[in-house]
Amino acid sequence: MALTDKQRQELITRAGEVRSKAYAPYSNYQVGAALLTSSGKIFTGVNVENAAYPDSICAERSAVFSAVSAGEREFEAIAVATRNGGAPCGSCRQVLSEFGLDIEVLLVDGEGTLIQQNTVRDLLPGAFLSNDLSE
């Protein structure tokens, strides 16, 4: 499914709005994400840092886990808002790949400007997938 301009703008807006709710006292790098499911619902997430750094969670994974907790398993697109249009980390790319390599990834800066639009496939060539576990 190709994103409509309206869907793209709603994802960008929602990711930008939720970004202000991020808990990032260590990095001061707030991230917001808005994930569009195939059923048309949007789930948001923010990064939540912890003094024990490995226990932190990224905005992208927060949104995916929220959607999965609500029973969603098919995703169309995710907008990721940061101050500079930063890309998802490797862990987030891997989690997104679990649900589809063709998920659109919109990278947005702090002004709400679309910096880049890719797919998970573009961001994670050679993704480790479920069929890699087969004998």
Helical (H) or strand (E) element with 44: strand 42-46
From 60, 72, 76, 104, active-site residue: 60
H helical segments located in 70-130: 90-97, 120-123
Active site annotation includes 60: yes
Query: Which residues on neighbouring strands pair with residue 130, listed in sequence order?
Result: none
Count of Cβ atoms closer than 10 Å to residue 63 Cβ: 30
Active-site positions read: 60
